[in-house]
Amino acid sequence: MGVDFFYDYAGYIAIFLLFFFMVLSVPVFVSMGMAAFVAALLIEDPFHAFRNFINISWQGALIFELVALPLFIFTGTLMQRTDAGRDLFEVTKAWAGSIPNSLGVATITACGIFAAISGSSVATAATVGLVAIPLLLEERYGERRAGGFVAGGGTLGIIIPPSIPLILYGVITETSIGQLFIGGVVPGIIMMGAFTVYVLLSRPSIRVPHTIPVKQRLRTTWNSLGVVLLPVVIIAAIYTGMFTPTEVGALSVVYVVLLGLLQRRLDAGKVRSAAVAAAGTTSMLFMLIVFGQYFAHFLTFEQVPQMIASAIIENASGLFAVTLMIIAYVILGMFLESAAMLLISIPIFFPVAEQLGMHPIVFGIFAAIAMEIAQISPPIGVNLFTIHGISKIDLWKLARGALPFLLVQIVMLYLIYLFPQVVLWLPETMK
């Protein structure tokens, strides 16, 4: 096997090594760094390979836009410690009223509102699920539907702004994070509406919901007004151009801390606990980003994404090429969590999207919805494991309950490709 072979196939060797290391249960960020570094040693001398590894990794850690990441994560962990999930669920339950499957509708709506605060699918599913699942089971929705509603609704956490995966995508592709956030608003609302329609049309729960007086609804809303208004503040601040996404992250932290103190639900111990949890999550993501940037840089240097894009476009076009990408994302989602999948897939599929004429913002939302599919795809769907952990519902039941939501998301991917203005309309009107 000659030296030319390694020069020609070093990029593909890196991809093979990545999955080989992951099969051996090596952490994803370590697998990405090792795969690219070992492949680099095949075509470079050790000194240059090590120097490039240090320089590229260091540059990946110096991106200013990443400052928004720990701020939004900290906001989510603070909200989890202020019983925000209970407040949101009480409000949505009050306004769902006596319609059929009102608790199911309340669950989806609460997930949508909390998604616009935390930016995390797992945090959304866990926070709302702790409150909603016991009540759904009490109202005899059954374990499959109760778990499925929360798993599906939780995926809204990475499409409705703010969104942690969209921050990562914006950094990788150098796309405006503010425009990506606003681009996710309309698709997020459409998807939340589609989820709600499915819940309404599903088999009604056995118990008839109680009618709640208007006075009680207004009182419940007033008591939780601070939490309900936060998503409006976040989206309005970004849309009007008054604040950058990073500044909005800082504003969110201050808002939640002040709200928690005024409600007497936060103290120094809870803030410290939230900070530690946020630091742990942020550290994990930063490791993925740093080594993901190195892996992506190596693949790009070896022209692998460009060759894959050319191969796909030469053999498929339009809807067929989109279908191939969707299938690839569904398969990846069976084995990888969303952040790792995004960092591995974007360098490969972004050139394909460009060849298909997809706007970077449109493909960003497309990729975020694909991340949602990963959250509820067995066997590794992280939302399924999160809900299993808090409810002990069987994973197979959860997967069956989440399947209709997964199908809605796949339809949404085609809708975004065929009608890109669904995504671009709001960003084009931004100041």
**Considering the domain boundaries, does residue 180 fall inside one?**
yes
Q: Are residues 254 and 110 in the same domain?
A: yes
Total structural domains within the chain? 2
pLDDT tens digits, 189-241: 999 999 999 988 887 655 555 667 778 878 888 888 888 888 888 888 888 87
For residue 263, the number of C-alpha atoms closer than 13 Å in the C-beta half-sphere is 20
Question: How far is 154 from 372, CA to CA, in rounded Å?
Answer: 9
Report for 169-173, 183-187, 389-393: range of highest mean pLDDT: 183-187
Total residue count of the chain as it appears in this document: 431
Euclidean distance between CA atoms 104 and 367, whole angstroms:
27
- State how far the alpha carbon of 225 is from the alpha carbons of 118, 142, 230, 231, 255, in Å: 17, 31, 9, 11, 13
Examine residue 2 and state whether it is found in any structural domain, yes or no: yes
pLDDT digits (tens, 9 = 90+) for 109-133: 888 888 888 777 877 888 888 888 8
Model confidence at 365, in pLDDT bands (50, 70, 90)? very high
Of 40, 62, 84, the last residue of a domain is: 62
Structural domain ending residue among the three candidates 234, 254, 281: 281
Could you read off the pLDDT of 281-294 as tens digits, one per residue?
Answer: 888 888 888 888 88
Query: Are residues 124 and 25 both part of a single domain?
Result: no
Flag whether 188 is in a domain.
yes
Whether residue 74 sits in one domain with residue 56: no
Q: 54 in a domain, yes or no?
A: yes
Please give the mean pLDDT across all residues of the chain: 83
| pTM, to two decimals | 0.82
- Do 175 and 275 share a domain, yes or no? yes
Q: 117 and 73, same structural domain?
A: yes
Mean pLDDT across the stretch 420-431? Answer: 87
Angstrom CA distances, 339 to 75, 77, 168, 225, 312, stand at: 19, 18, 8, 32, 24
Residue span of the structural domain in which 27 resides = 1-62
For residues 122 and 142, membership in a common domain is answered with: yes
pLDDT (tens digit per residue) in 379-409:
667 778 888 887 888 888 888 888 899 899 9
Judge if 176 and 243 occupy the same domain: yes
Residue that terminates a domain, selected from 224, 254, 281: 281
Q: Is the per-residue pLDDT at 368 higher than 60?
A: yes
Tell whether 14 and 116 lie within a shared domain: no
The phi-psi region of residue 322 (left if phi > 0; otherwise alpha if psi is between -120 and 50; otherwise beta) is: alpha
- If we measure between CA atoms, which residue out of 374, 107, 99 comes closest to residue 209? 99
**Segment 49-94, tens digit of pLDDT:** 888 888 888 887 777 777 888 888 888 888 888 877 778 778 887 7
Mean pLDDT over residues 251-258, rounded? 89
* 228 shares a domain with 247: yes
Confidence class of residue 3 from pLDDT cuts 50, 70 and 90?
low
Give the integer Cα–Cα distance in Å for 38 and 111. Answer: 43
Spatial distance between the Cα atoms of 190 and 271, rounded to a whole number of angstroms: 35
pLDDT, position 272: 92
Same structural domain, 89 and 146: yes
Determine the average pLDDT of the residues in 247-258: 89
Q: Is residue 339 part of a domain?
A: no
Indicate whether 55 and 180 sit together in one domain.
no
- Is 347 inside any structural domain? no
| pLDDT per residue as tens digits for the range 292-345 | 888 888 887 877 777 777 777 777 667 888 888 888 887 777 667 677 778 788
Q: Would you say residue 289 lies in a domain?
A: no
In a domain, 204, yes or no: yes
The pLDDT-based confidence of 101 (bands split at 50, 70, 90) is confident
Q: Do 143 and 247 fall within a single domain?
A: yes
